Structure 1
Amino acid sequence: MKKSKRKENLINEKDNAILSKKLARIELDAPVEIELSELPYKGKQLEPLMSFYKDMNFNGFMSRLLENSDQADLLTEDWEEVAYTHVASAEDLTVDHFPSVAAADGYAIYLENLSKNYHDSEVVAVAWTNGSEIFTGDASLLQADLFKSWLSDEQVTKVVFDAKRTKVMLDYVGIDFAGVVDDVLIGSYLLHARDNSNDLAEVAREFDMDDLSYDESIYGKGAKRGVPEEAETMYEHIARKVHIIARLQETIRPQLEANQMDDLYQKMELPLALVLANLEILGISVDKQQLVTMQAEFQEIIDGLEANIWKEAGHEFNVNSPKQLGVILFEEMGLPVIKKTKTGYSTAQDVLEKLAGQAPIIDLILNYRQLNKLQSTYVEGLQEFIHEDGKIHSRFQQTLTSTGRLSSADPNLQNIPIRSEEGRSIRKAFVPSHEDWVIFSSDYSQIELRVLAHISGDKHMQEAFNNHEDIHTSTAMKVYNVAKDEVTSNMRRNAKAVNFGIVYGISDYGLSQNLNISRPEAKNFIDTYLENYPGVQAYMKDVVEKAKEDGYVETLFNRRRYLPDLNAKNFNVRSFAERNAMNTPIQGTAADIIKIAMVKMDEALKEHKLQANLLLQIHDELVFEVPKDEIDTLEKLVTEIMGSAAQLDVPLEIESNYGATWYEAK
């Protein structure tokens, strides 16, 4: 007689079944002491609702609430009135509209544009204050000599929201912006480690200033985004922005000082914003023909891979269709099912990687997908971002990541793959902007591991770096208990994985997936590693405990990251926060070091009157273009400045190369 599996499950899971029934049933005898008649609906309580949205960081809900004009009137009726004077034309400007002396606090100015990518959009309006009055006007005012002179006068101090954006936009209209003493966007970012770059209203609400509308409620969104029919609505909005910028400055600066972040702000982030602005303005030259040629070559390879995939499958199908691919692999070819989704079989990257080697079609598909991604995102995608000057002007996002690392967008040049030859070859399209110049690349060698060695104080790790040993070989010797000449390439690869994994708080599960070994093996590997690096083990424990006490972690330069989830009840949420506590001081310090190097390199290039230009920052790498006769000078400067950007207990080592293209410089 066949045994009933359902019966067996019911017997074994009886307690869970009863508990599930209890959890699913609505309790009617809950001890509620209030009657339904005492809860009459009184309509929307807008102020408490907005307060709740703000506390929960529901910015989208707040924006939609403000889009309704009736509700907006109710929410704004108690707002302080902001007086301003509209200047109709450049001819109406006089010296009285502009302060002529420096002020310790600076004078607030704001330029309005309606696109996130300010490289592709124009200024539509401007608002500023002379210290006693606020003025507004359209973009044509910027062409007045009085305005140009004031904006470029370094002695007249200014406070802004997003100095980088402001400097770039003014450069597009021929103005060299100078005199910035405060950037409330950067200040807010340092205090909260959260991206608020899209809207000044978000920053204002971080500091309990609710009297500024979100841009969406003024300009709309998507295809409908634009200057409102009543221009006065826009001018009132940007006048209020200038008023808010001045108030934010008064609030943010004391908090930065109280948190020991003033040096981080004044000596690193604020000057870096202007360095980044210059990078964006300059851009990097791109050989479009190289991309076009590569596009044809890649397409030929992709077509060949597709034909081979069809051959293995026995018939043609849409290789880009997960559903069709799932049927081919798991029904027609009978490969083992790794994971299912609501719509069928999963053919995600991790699934295919687990099937690698079980059938030739798997490797073909993985190669096909990789090349398709390179083709669409980079070979074809980069061509769309080439400006009329033959350059790409990427946006460097300074206030996005919680660790302090820079990122880039429109396009993202930091994510160009370099692990495959096809990915690296994309760098062949990036070239110097002058003849007889070269691309010069310098990057820190294993900077995050060096920071870990310093912060943890681990003597074994510090000894390896101070003796200029290969850290991965040294780790393999300790973990496997072998001599140097006995370390195999596979041992070194595994040691490298755990070295970098430790930096990111890797788990035994994560390491087992990376190395394709069992969890017990991975756990043993990590345990052995930590036994050999006791300083690292102590750091991992101590940094989490201190973070739970303080509520945040810090880099060596006092950059903070708040981690409220360290006390979460959910294990996965809490574990993720613990990994962030371990990683942020390391990754954040490494990010701070290269930022310091960028600021100092910018100063050094000017001081030595070199023609060389800093073009890109790609995590731990700085990319320059330089005349051939300046190569030796630049190499000495880079080695000296990058190597001395921070004083650690281990040396900062720099690797430099140069060539006719970015590809040849690596």
Structure 2
Amino acid sequence: MTEKSSRPRLLLLDGHSLAYRAFFALPVDNFSTSTGQHTNAVYGFTSMLINVLRDEEPTHVAVAFDLSRQTFRLEEYSEYKAKRAKTPDEFRSQLPLIQEVLDALRIKHLSLEGFEADDIIATWSTQAREAGMETLILTGDRDSLQLVNDDVTVLYPMRGVSELARMTPEAVETKYFVPPHRYPEIAALVGEDSDNLPGVPGVGPKTAAKWINQFDGLDNIIARVDEVKGKAGESLRAHLGDVIRNRRLNALLRDLTLDFGPADLARQPWDRQEVHTLFDGLEFRVLRDRLFESLDSEEETATEPSMKVEGTVLEPGTVAAWFAETGSAALGVHVSGTWRAGTGEVEGIAVSTLEGRAAYLDTQTLTPEDDAAVAAWLADPARAKVIHDAKGPILALAARGWEVEGLSSDTALAAYLVRPDQRTYDLADLTVRYLKRELPTEDVGDQGLLFDTGEAVVEPALARAQASVELAAALADEIESHGGTRLLSDVELPLVDILARMERTGIAVDQEHLQALADEFDSEVRAAAAAAYEVIGKEINLGSPKQLQVVLFEDLGMPKTKKTKTGYTTDADALASLYEKTEHPFLLHLLRHRDVIKLRQTVEGLLKTVQPDGRIHTTFNQIIAATGRLSSTDPNLQNIPVRTAEGRRIREAFVVGEGFESLMTADYSQIEMRIMAHASGDDLLVEAFRSGQDFHASTASKVFGVDAEAVTPEMRAKIKAMNYGLAYGLSAFGLSGQLKISPGEASKLMDEYFETFGGIRDYLQGVVEEARRTGYTETVMGRRRYLPDLTSDNRQRREMAERMALNAPIQGSAADLVKVAMIGVDAELAEQGMKSRVLLQVHDELVLEVAPGEREALEALVRAQMGSAADLLVPLDVSVGTGHSWHEAAH
């Protein structure tokens, strides 16, 4: 960036040009949401926008878009831009999203029937110069170089969307040997392939620039065309009509009548919540963080510089007295430290009342009496505590021997229940949004945390403690209005402590078995590669899409797959489809190579996470999935393959730990379809569950009109696919792909299914309409998922929101039931004084470690608690198994 001028600075962006450049700069297959919406153009455009707003600091900004190809230029010359390929559908669907980003950032954008974005930009820049403004034009269209002057600079993308060249008058003349206002004359002579404007054959930029300088401009060249020498001159005279036409078409219009001018384009603070909602839908977590770090939002312009807290650093020996003086007031707590893999370390604790009476404890200076006072306060259920994202701090406190009771709110969980589709619940961000203040950074100096002693503290722990307790109060009414109060108090908060104990406990593994599997899979990777090489007669990098494209589509001449920017796709689905068509042995070995690489990576990842106690301590996440499901990371134990023989062998490595007699698995049977039966009230579906017969066979007999004994395996498979798919938006096309039948046959099967189970059909139609009316879906426990895209003008987004509306109440209710069951099992274990413990939750399954002599009692306890987690129209069926390993227990 050049030194900033005191004049107003206008930034103009060519929306279509930049979006199209971003689309081809970023791979389309790598940028799409879970709904299937492609986002590479949106991401690249937004990234470039954030960078240029940050670096150039414009006072005014606007974006111009092309409306269509039907412009006055096309009317004059029917071949204008005729060579351009049809706009990809993947790109076209992203333009409205880019405009939504601009709306959220309060940036005006404009398009005009019959004219191009360049003309709008030319008009604005001309008006801005007359108003004494400095102008920057960000565009990938060289036609805008004619606008460059002492007040106008073009920022031209050089590599993708990351590097910009500053095209000043000097830079233009250096590159093209003519001043900017002469650039269109060079383009007229040379031609512009992108616009399908043919130039003079044999004439390049240097020759064109020489003529322009020799004759003092294109008008003089035309007037004295007979003086131009040589073959180039002959060529010029033969194509003079093209040159004149080119110059007329590439001249940008500077006097359009527009809805608003430069003075109306002043930058406005943007709405932080609107950006959250939009970026959540686009799944732009990293980009959102960059935006929040770089640019001020509406909330930030209304915030105080930082949150100031009057507090004290407690001296050794004073801790008990301080806690006694605070009485029973709820305290916000911030733990400074680290935590992972079921343990952690505490460096300090900051506490603050809602009124701002605060203190900081350095754990290195605590006396034994202080330590006991902290332990007693933390363990007292009558002393309310508010912690942001509490599970990690609880692990660190537990590692020091401090147990936490009385957690009255977790502000990350509270914010999650209010807006479950958000991707991040950072305390600093929530503080700005709800409290209109900023948390100080670590380098706070005298503007940071002021203490009784007058000293500033670098670590802003007290501010975070204060923010937590204030935020809990600010969120309380919003949680209530969103129907989440009971979920927070009765489900999510009790689960925090349970999950923390599960993480601390971990699950034992047989490391020798894991290592043997890793060695075996590594050997199979090499064998599969060798077999693949033998088929094609050479060695290649089997992980290289480019090398695979050569082998598959050139050497072996296989049918082409879907075309991407980098060639024909070689992803797993495409290769599997190719193998079905060709049964080529190379594909067989290639697919096996990929499978065993994944297995090897899974096992190697597990080995790396085994702790010194011989157990793996995963991390459970409560605030990731919008449906309420728990997820597992570092490592992900919910993703261990279970349907393949190799996956089951991996589960054999998870074993009972020392001092316990076995593992126990307890799994809900067809939980989501049972919830569907309850929600829909469909008599036949309810009857199918109450009969106690094989559920899929029973429903198949009703659809096909045969006795249950006459249901064939093929019939059962078809209805099973529909039982699990149709309730969640599975289309006839999707069903046909699953069952390997024609879309027509799948559609007929769907009609028969819904004719039989009319209650399901009516429920599914009703739940979408109700969600469209209210804006959200709801589980049996009142967990809401807000779906603003149900009324979107974008068909793809609207249809995906409809599928989510079908899915969220059922899947979310299942998640709620499993959580309630976990809380019930944990409470009953404590009530009965049993030593058995819950180790894992994997979707609808609990894995427990059985203490000696407790198997029968534990099974009865688990069946009772899981079976009574909700009062449904149909019974909740629980499958229980035990064994030395996770695999044995599940079979």
**How far apart are the structure 2 equivalents of 1:195 and 1:65?**
15
* CA 332–486 in structure 1, closer or farther in 2 if over 3 Å, else same: farther
Which residue in the other structure is 2:328 paired with? 102
CA contact (8 A) 2:412 2:426 kept: no
**How far apart are the structure 1 equivalents of 2:114 and 2:259?**
22
Determine if the alignment matches structure 1 residue 247 to structure 2 residue 474. no
CA contact (8 A) 1:90 1:140 kept: no
Residue by residue over 1:442-501, the C-alpha shift from the partner in whole angstroms, topping out at 9 and shown as x without a partner, is 000000000001101111111100001222212332334443333222222221111111
CA contact (8 A) 1:195 1:401 kept: no
Larger Rg computed on CA atoms: 2
Match of 1:161 among 378, 388, 401: 388
Residue by residue over 1:31-87, the C-alpha shift from the partner in whole angstroms, topping out at 9 and shown as x without a partner, is 524444x3587xx76x55868756755876675577579999x96973465223341
Comparing 279-288 with 254-263, greater Cα deviation is found at 254-263
What is the CA distance between 1:251 and its match in structure 2?
Answer: 2.1
* CA 556–325 in structure 1, closer or farther in 2 if over 3 Å, else same: same
Determine if the alignment matches structure 1 residue 418 to structure 2 residue 664. no
CA contact (8 A) 2:352 2:469 kept: no
CA contact (8 A) 2:867 2:878 kept: yes
Which residue in the other structure is 1:632 paired with? 856
CA contact (8 A) 1:152 1:179 kept: yes
Determine if the alignment matches structure 1 residue 273 to structure 2 residue 496. yes
Match of 2:258 among 28, 32, 43: 32
Residue by residue over 1:152-189, the C-alpha shift from the partner in whole angstroms, topping out at 9 and shown as x without a partner, is 22232211112322211211222112221222221221
Match of 1:579 among 803, 817, 824: 803
Secondary structure in 2 aligned to 1:408? Answer: strand
What is the CA distance between 1:141 and its match in structure 2?
Answer: 5.5
Please list, as runs of the form range in 1=range in 2, the aligned pairs for 1:653-664 lying within 5 A after superposition: 653-664=877-888
Residue by residue over 1:194-241, the C-alpha shift from the partner in whole angstroms, topping out at 9 and shown as x without a partner, is 35665212333453x2313487999xxxxxxxxxxxx95643x32222
**How far apart are the structure 2 equivalents of 1:362 and 1:24?**
51
Match of 2:414 among 181, 184, 187: 187
- Which segments of structure 1 move beyond 6 Å, counting only runs of 4 or more? 16-24, 49-52, 68-72, 214-218
**How far apart are the structure 2 equivalents of 1:621 and 1:451?**
16
**How far apart are the structure 1 equivalents of 2:673 and 2:853?**
35
What is the CA distance between 1:551 and its match in structure 2?
Answer: 0.5
**How far apart are the structure 2 equivalents of 1:342 and 1:62?**
26
Which residue in the other structure is 1:365 paired with? 590
Determine if the alignment matches structure 1 residue 429 to structure 2 residue 429. no
* CA 498–59 in structure 1, closer or farther in 2 if over 3 Å, else same: closer
Please list, as runs of the form range in 1=range in 2, the aligned pairs for 1:92-131 lying within 5 A after superposition: 93-97=319-323, 99=325, 101-103=327-329, 106-113=330-337, 117=340, 119=342, 122-129=345-352
**How far apart are the structure 2 equivalents of 1:603 and 1:93?**
33
Determine if the alignment matches structure 1 residue 388 to structure 2 residue 615. no
**How far apart are the structure 2 equivalents of 1:418 and 1:276?**
23
What's the % identity of the aligned pairs?
A: 36
**How far apart are the structure 2 equivalents of 1:487 and 1:349?**
34
* CA 481–334 in structure 1, closer or farther in 2 if over 3 Å, else same: farther
TM-score when normalising by structure 1 = 0.87
What is the CA distance between 1:120 and its match in structure 2?
Answer: 6.9
**How far apart are the structure 2 equivalents of 1:466 and 1:18?**
57
CA contact (8 A) 1:86 1:136 kept: yes
CA contact (8 A) 2:304 2:436 kept: no
**How far apart are the structure 1 equivalents of 2:667 and 2:396?**
30
Match of 1:87 among 313, 334, 348: 313
Match of 1:453 among 652, 657, 677: 677
* CA 177–534 in structure 1, closer or farther in 2 if over 3 Å, else same: same
**How far apart are the structure 2 equivalents of 1:506 and 1:50?**
35
Secondary structure in 1 aligned to 2:887? Answer: coil
What is the CA distance between 1:24 and its match in structure 2?
Answer: 8.0
Comparing 385-394 with 47-56, greater Cα deviation is found at 47-56
Secondary structure in 1 aligned to 2:626? Answer: coil
Determine if the alignment matches structure 1 residue 552 to structure 2 residue 741. no
CA contact (8 A) 2:836 2:854 kept: yes
Q: 5+ residue gaps in structure 1? A: 1-9, 219-230
**How far apart are the structure 1 equivalents of 2:301 and 2:726?**
49
Which residue in the other structure is 1:289 paired with? 512
Secondary structure in 2 aligned to 1:336? Answer: coil
Match of 2:688 among 464, 469, 475: 464
* CA 200–78 in structure 1, closer or farther in 2 if over 3 Å, else same: closer
Please list, as runs of the form range in 1=range in 2, the aligned pairs for 1:51-70 lying within 5 A after superposition: 64=290
Comparing 638-647 with 475-484, greater Cα deviation is found at 475-484
**How far apart are the structure 1 equivalents of 2:365 and 2:653?**
40
* CA 122–449 in structure 1, closer or farther in 2 if over 3 Å, else same: same
Comparing 378-387 with 296-305, greater Cα deviation is found at 296-305
CA contact (8 A) 2:306 2:438 kept: no
Which residue in the other structure is 1:442 paired with? 666
Residue by residue over 1:235-254, the C-alpha shift from the partner in whole angstroms, topping out at 9 and shown as x without a partner, is 3x322222221222222223
Q: 5+ residue gaps in structure 2? A: 1-77, 93-111, 121-254, 445-454
**How far apart are the structure 2 equivalents of 1:216 and 1:339?**
50
Task: Say how many residue pairs are matched.
Answer: 631
**How far apart are the structure 2 equivalents of 1:610 and 1:51?**
47
Letter in 2 for 1:309: A
Which residue in the other structure is 1:221 paired with? none
CA contact (8 A) 1:268 1:599 kept: yes
* CA 310–656 in structure 1, closer or farther in 2 if over 3 Å, else same: same
TM-score when normalising by structure 2 = 0.66
Comparing 448-457 with 289-298, greater Cα deviation is found at 289-298
Letter in 2 for 1:184: T
**How far apart are the structure 2 equivalents of 1:416 and 1:505?**
26
Query: Which structure is richer in relative contact order (CA contacts within 8 A, separation 6 or more)?
Result: 1
Which residue in the other structure is 2:827 paired with? 603
Secondary structure in 2 aligned to 1:431? Answer: coil
**How far apart are the structure 2 equivalents of 1:471 and 1:99?**
62
Letter in 1 for 2:615: K
